[in-house]
């Protein structure tokens, strides 16, 4: 089950998280938002401990919807602390979504590993 956050708890849950956070912006009336829930749940279990999955009801969190300029639902945004790393708005199927999410995570962890290297080691890559 996806943990829901509000405008009040968003900064603490996302910006202070020790892992990357995938935020699923959704609305109760959005059928596609509900249709991707099983894919998101599978993704979260496959990357357990390496990513945190949160849901934001865009209808109840209008300020967040405006801050992140949502133009369609569902919208998925992967955060690393307070930085947006990736954004997904055009859903074309479960397989594409799964591939996209996995590629995001691989890219995120490659980036983190590079940042952890000493400056000389990073320059050699």
Q: What angle do CA 87, 2, 19 make, to 5 degrees?
A: 60
Tokens 């708890």 belong to which residue?
A: 9
Q: Residues with catalytic annotation?
A: 30, 33
Q: Which residues pair with residue 3 across a beta bridge?
A: 54
Closest CA to 89 of 65, 63, 54: 65
Residue 16 CA to residue 81 CA, distance in Å, equals 6
Are 80 and 27 in contact, with CB atoms under 8 Å apart? Answer: no
- 75-80 and 83-88 beta bridge pairing: antiparallel
């Amino acid at each position: 089950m996806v943990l829901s956050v509000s405008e009040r708890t968003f900064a603490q849950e996302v910006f202070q998280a020790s892992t990357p956070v995938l935020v699923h912006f959704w609305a109760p009336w959005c059928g596609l938002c509900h249709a991707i829930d099983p894919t998101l749940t599978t993704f979260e279990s496959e990357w357990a401990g390496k990513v945190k999955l949160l849901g934001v009801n865009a209808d109840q969190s209008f300020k967040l919807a405006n801050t992140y300029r949502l133009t369609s639902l569902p919208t998925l945004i992967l955060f690393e602390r307070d930085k947006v790393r990736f954004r997904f708005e055009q859903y074309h199927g479960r397989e594409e979504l799964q591939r996209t999410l996995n590629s995001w995570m691989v890219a995120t962890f490659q980036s983190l590993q590079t940042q952890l290297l000493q400056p000389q080691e990073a320059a050699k890559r």
